[in-house]
Amino acid sequence: MQIYLRGHGPLQNQPTARVPWEDVWVRYAPPRRGRKYLSEEMQKGRWAPTLIGRLELASALALARDLARGDRRTAATHLELAELRTLRTLLRRYPIIAWRENIYCRPELIGRKLAERMIAALLDFSLNGSEQKRLKPYRFVWVRSNTLVTPVTLAPRKRKTAK
Protein backbone atom coordinates (compact mmCIF):
# COMPACT_ATOMS: atom_id res chain seq x y z
CA MET A 1 0.00 0.00 0.00
CA GLN A 2 1.41 3.37 -0.97
CA ILE A 3 1.19 6.07 1.68
CA TYR A 4 1.79 9.73 0.90
CA LEU A 5 3.15 11.91 3.71
CA ARG A 6 3.15 15.68 3.59
CA GLY A 7 4.28 18.12 6.21
CA HIS A 8 5.58 21.62 6.56
CA GLY A 9 8.49 20.79 8.86
CA PRO A 10 12.07 19.66 8.31
CA LEU A 11 11.18 15.96 7.89
CA GLN A 12 9.62 16.48 4.48
CA ASN A 13 12.67 18.23 2.98
CA GLN A 14 15.60 16.66 4.82
CA PRO A 15 15.70 12.86 5.23
CA THR A 16 18.24 13.15 8.08
CA ALA A 17 16.37 15.81 10.09
CA ARG A 18 15.30 15.05 13.66
CA VAL A 19 12.59 17.09 15.35
CA PRO A 20 10.77 16.99 18.73
CA TRP A 21 7.33 16.96 17.03
CA GLU A 22 5.88 17.16 13.54
CA ASP A 23 2.44 17.55 11.98
CA VAL A 24 2.09 15.12 9.09
CA TRP A 25 -0.76 14.80 6.63
CA VAL A 26 -1.27 11.19 5.58
CA ARG A 27 -3.08 10.17 2.42
CA TYR A 28 -3.65 6.61 1.18
CA ALA A 29 -6.23 4.33 -0.38
CA PRO A 30 -7.64 2.26 2.49
CA PRO A 31 -8.27 -1.40 1.65
CA ARG A 32 -11.80 -2.75 1.77
CA ARG A 33 -10.87 -5.37 4.35
CA GLY A 34 -10.43 -3.95 7.83
CA ARG A 35 -12.24 -0.65 7.23
CA LYS A 36 -14.48 -1.12 10.24
CA TYR A 37 -11.53 -0.48 12.58
CA LEU A 38 -10.70 2.87 11.00
CA SER A 39 -11.81 6.21 12.34
CA GLU A 40 -13.95 8.39 10.09
CA GLU A 41 -10.96 10.42 8.89
CA MET A 42 -8.91 7.28 8.23
CA GLN A 43 -11.78 5.70 6.24
CA LYS A 44 -11.60 8.61 3.83
CA GLY A 45 -7.90 7.94 3.34
CA ARG A 46 -6.91 11.34 4.76
CA TRP A 47 -5.62 11.82 8.21
CA ALA A 48 -3.42 14.36 10.02
CA PRO A 49 -1.73 13.08 13.18
CA THR A 50 0.83 14.98 15.22
CA LEU A 51 3.94 12.91 15.88
CA ILE A 52 5.35 13.69 19.32
CA GLY A 53 8.69 12.64 20.81
CA ARG A 54 9.58 12.34 24.49
CA LEU A 55 11.22 15.79 24.58
CA GLU A 56 7.99 17.51 23.52
CA LEU A 57 6.00 15.40 25.99
CA ALA A 58 8.34 16.52 28.80
CA SER A 59 7.86 20.14 27.73
CA ALA A 60 4.06 19.81 27.69
CA LEU A 61 4.17 18.08 31.07
CA ALA A 62 6.24 20.89 32.59
CA LEU A 63 3.86 23.52 31.19
CA ALA A 64 0.80 21.64 32.49
CA ARG A 65 2.48 21.29 35.89
CA ASP A 66 3.11 25.05 36.03
CA LEU A 67 -0.49 25.79 34.99
CA ALA A 68 -1.87 23.38 37.59
CA ARG A 69 0.13 25.15 40.32
CA GLY A 70 -0.65 28.69 39.21
CA ASP A 71 -3.57 30.94 39.99
CA ARG A 72 -5.35 29.94 36.74
CA ARG A 73 -5.73 26.30 37.66
CA THR A 74 -8.92 24.57 36.67
CA ALA A 75 -10.22 21.03 36.54
CA ALA A 76 -9.17 20.89 32.88
CA THR A 77 -5.53 21.69 33.71
CA HIS A 78 -5.48 18.96 36.35
CA LEU A 79 -7.05 16.51 33.89
CA GLU A 80 -4.48 17.38 31.24
CA LEU A 81 -1.66 16.98 33.76
CA ALA A 82 -2.96 13.53 34.77
CA GLU A 83 -3.31 12.54 31.10
CA LEU A 84 0.27 13.60 30.28
CA ARG A 85 1.62 11.75 33.32
CA THR A 86 -0.22 8.63 32.19
CA LEU A 87 1.28 8.95 28.70
CA ARG A 88 4.77 9.34 30.19
CA THR A 89 4.24 6.19 32.25
CA LEU A 90 2.93 4.24 29.25
CA LEU A 91 5.93 5.27 27.14
CA ARG A 92 8.19 3.52 29.61
CA ARG A 93 6.44 0.28 28.69
CA TYR A 94 5.50 0.73 25.02
CA PRO A 95 7.66 2.31 22.28
CA ILE A 96 4.74 3.88 20.35
CA ILE A 97 1.37 5.07 21.69
CA ALA A 98 -1.56 6.51 19.75
CA TRP A 99 -3.64 8.87 21.87
CA ARG A 100 -6.49 10.82 20.33
CA GLU A 101 -5.12 12.40 17.16
CA ASN A 102 -1.48 12.21 18.34
CA ILE A 103 1.13 9.48 18.11
CA TYR A 104 3.77 9.47 20.86
CA CYS A 105 7.12 7.68 20.80
CA ARG A 106 9.81 6.85 23.32
CA PRO A 107 12.84 8.56 21.66
CA GLU A 108 13.32 12.27 22.33
CA LEU A 109 13.57 13.29 18.67
CA ILE A 110 11.75 11.97 15.61
CA GLY A 111 13.49 11.18 12.33
CA ARG A 112 11.90 10.24 9.05
CA LYS A 113 12.26 6.46 9.56
CA LEU A 114 10.76 6.68 13.05
CA ALA A 115 7.87 8.80 11.72
CA GLU A 116 7.16 6.11 9.12
CA ARG A 117 7.33 3.40 11.79
CA MET A 118 4.91 5.35 14.01
CA ILE A 119 2.37 5.76 11.21
CA ALA A 120 2.79 2.13 10.11
CA ALA A 121 2.21 0.89 13.67
CA LEU A 122 -1.04 2.83 13.97
CA LEU A 123 -2.21 1.73 10.51
CA ASP A 124 -1.41 -1.91 11.32
CA PHE A 125 -3.34 -1.75 14.54
CA SER A 126 -6.26 0.18 13.02
CA LEU A 127 -6.60 -1.99 9.92
CA ASN A 128 -5.93 -5.41 11.43
CA GLY A 129 -6.63 -5.10 15.13
CA SER A 130 -3.04 -6.05 15.92
CA GLU A 131 0.49 -5.10 14.91
CA GLN A 132 1.41 -8.66 13.91
CA LYS A 133 -0.12 -9.01 10.45
CA ARG A 134 0.20 -6.54 7.61
CA LEU A 135 -2.05 -6.63 4.57
CA LYS A 136 0.54 -5.29 2.12
CA PRO A 137 3.96 -3.78 2.63
CA TYR A 138 3.81 -0.01 3.07
CA ARG A 139 5.68 2.27 0.73
CA PHE A 140 6.07 5.78 2.09
CA VAL A 141 6.36 8.72 -0.29
CA TRP A 142 7.26 12.10 1.22
CA VAL A 143 5.64 14.90 -0.78
CA ARG A 144 7.60 18.14 -0.67
CA SER A 145 5.90 21.38 0.15
CA ASN A 146 6.96 24.94 -0.65
CA THR A 147 6.44 25.98 2.97
CA LEU A 148 8.88 25.17 5.77
CA VAL A 149 7.92 25.61 9.42
CA THR A 150 10.46 24.72 12.10
CA PRO A 151 8.92 23.06 15.16
CA VAL A 152 9.98 24.63 18.45
CA THR A 153 9.97 22.93 21.81
CA LEU A 154 10.47 24.82 25.03
CA ALA A 155 12.83 22.87 27.23
CA PRO A 156 11.46 22.30 30.73
CA ARG A 157 13.22 24.60 33.14
CA LYS A 158 15.33 23.04 35.81
CA ARG A 159 14.28 23.54 39.36
CA LYS A 160 16.73 25.29 41.63
CA THR A 161 17.66 23.17 44.58
CA ALA A 162 18.29 24.64 47.98
CA LYS A 163 21.77 24.19 49.35
- Please state the rounded mean pLDDT for residues 132-157: 71
CA dihedral sign, ordered 138, 45, 50, 149: positive
Identify the burial level of 109 via C-beta atoms within 10 angstroms of its C-beta, where 0-12 means exposed, 13-18 middle and 19 or more buried: middle
Inter-residue contact 107 to 114 (CB < 8 Å): yes
Answer whether residue 111 shows pLDDT above 90. yes
pLDDT number for residue 117: 92
Per residue in 149-160, pLDDT (tens digit) is 766 666 555 656
Q: Which of 67-81, 84-98, 116-130 has the lowest mean pLDDT?
A: 116-130
pLDDT number for residue 78: 83
Residues 57, 27: Cα–Cα separation, whole Å: 26
Long-range pairs, 131-135, Cβ under 8 A, ≥24? 135/1, 135/31, 135/33, 135/34
pLDDT number for residue 79: 87
Per residue in 19-74, pLDDT (tens digit) is 998 888 888 776 665 555 555 666 666 778 889 999 999 999 988 888 888 777 78
Per residue in 89-102, pLDDT (tens digit) is 999 999 999 888 88
